[in-house]
Amino acid sequence: MKAAIIGGTGYGAIELIRLIQKHPFLNVGTVISNSQAGTNFSESYPHLTDIVTQPLETFDAERINKENDIVFLATPSGVSSRLVPDLLDKGIKCIDLSGDFRLKSANQYESWYKHPSPSENHLSQAIYGLSEIYSDNIKNASLIANPGCYPTATTLGLIPALRANIVDERSIIIDAKSGVSGAGRGLSLTAHYAEINENLKA
């Protein structure tokens, strides 16, 4: 299968390309970056010069559908919700790496993400992509909401204990910490070494 990647110059996309290159049934297809369309991928990541040879392209749902079998969206929060409806209308499967389709409630989404939610129809259509738990649902899904790192680690760690009935679910407290790699390539004061080194923020 050929896999298109939207948001092609971010850290998520780079890791995705690395995984696809090792995958026996996937090849990198169209790579979309509206901000850098027309440039070679190697200008952003020289170490991938011989791996991704095609230039970056702008978003065109029709062309993506004709040239690819599946689409990964490695975009910032709020972007996937605008692009996915067009892709689904063309009949192409979408796997969203952002948080746009992880929550079923529009109110909860807007409370956490601080911008308008995707349509209720698409929120309800999305399958939560935790393959260890929902593999049967994922097989036939058109829209998969890739789970984040915190809920994946937490859920997979807790499920065996809860199923064995050795933990009182009312007693569970999740205390999670993260580095700054998840902040992406964009520069900000909160990801600056001098600000974050040996520091901890809620």
Q: Which residues are catalytic?
A: 149
Distance CA 195, CA 47 (A): 29
Are 101 and 108 a contacting pair, CB within 8 Å? Answer: no
List CB contacts of 65: < 8 A, sequence separation 6 or more: 87, 90, 91, 92
DSSP 57: B
Q: Determine how many CB atoms are found less than 10 A away from the CB of residue 94.
A: 24
Q: Is 139 helix (H, G, I), strand (E, B) or coil?
A: helix
For residue 38, what are the contacts with CB-CB under 8 A and spacing of at least 6? 55, 56
C-alpha distances in Å from residue 82, one per residue of 16, 35, 37, 77? 21, 16, 19, 10
Token pair of 197 as six digits = 């080194």
